[in-house]
Homo-oligomer: A and B are copies of this chain.
Amino acid sequence: MTKTEKILNAALQLIIERGLERTPMSKIADKAEVGMGTVYKYFKDKEDIINAIYVSIKEEEAQLVFVNNGHNPDVRATFMNYYGRMIDYFLDNTLKFNFISQYAFSPIIKTTTQKKAMSQFYHFDDHYRKGLEENLFKDIKAEHMTFFVFSAIAYWIKAANELHIKIDETYKTVLLQMAWDAIKK
């Protein structure tokens, strides 16, 4: 694991567990087993770390969601694949999921960061357009559809975490069906 990764991991864990205000840079350095100076070698400042974490998670997520992409011509099947994998990713990476949920709306995340993160998901636009062409979807904007489904999944998992409900395959299927019914014409 590179020092950069060590720092990002340490910061992620501390920030989620204790909150941003209560995680000084020194704690991040300690947990990453790295000197303070090293942190500042790789990152401009604290906010830079937050933004880097955000992008790295979104990149990892995209990588997983779009693996083996582009072979299935069926719009519904593709939908289930994409979002099924997204659910899996977030269920397997609770810390990262919490981070995204918390900072997606925060002013700490710069516009450029948000754009960079979003750009990973351009496949969604293709998928959406295809669905529109086949007259499968309601008449809404692509971004809105993406947001809608992501948010549904996000809060779903959040609720499950809080209520200590286990999301099994059956439940996952219901969730995916709900999302599909929502956008389906």
Name A's B-contacting residues (CB within 8 A). 16-21, 98, 101-102, 105-108, 114, 138-141, 143-144, 147-148, 150-152, 154-156, 158-160, 162-163, 165, 171, 174, 177-179, 181-184
Q: Are B106 and A19 in contact (CB under 8 A)?
A: yes
When distances are taken between beta carbons in the complex, the residues of chain B under 8 Å from A18 are: 107
Q: Are B144 and A150 in contact (CB under 8 A)?
A: no
Q: Are B177 and A105 in contact (CB under 8 A)?
A: no
Q: Which residue of B lies closest to A100 (CB)?
A: B105
Q: Give 27 pairs: A residue, B residue, CB < 8 Å, sorted on A.
A: A18-B107, A19-B107, A19-B108, A21-B21, A98-B105, A102-B105, A140-B174, A140-B178, A141-B163, A141-B165, A143-B159, A143-B163, A144-B159, A144-B160, A144-B165, A147-B158, A147-B159, A148-B155, A148-B178, A151-B151, A151-B152, A151-B155, A152-B182, A178-B182, A179-B182, A181-B182, A182-B182
Q: Which of the listed residues A21, A163, A181 has the most CB atoms from chain B within 10 Å of its own CB?
A: A181
When distances are taken between beta carbons in the complex, the residues of chain B under 8 Å from A177 are: 138
Q: Are B156 and A154 in contact (CB under 8 A)?
A: no
Known: A140-B171, A151-B155. 5 other contacts (CB 8 A): A17-B107, A147-B156, A147-B159, A148-B156, A178-B182
Contact of A138 among B105, B178, B184 (CB under 8 A): B178
When distances are taken between beta carbons in the complex, the residues of chain B under 8 Å from A150 are: 155
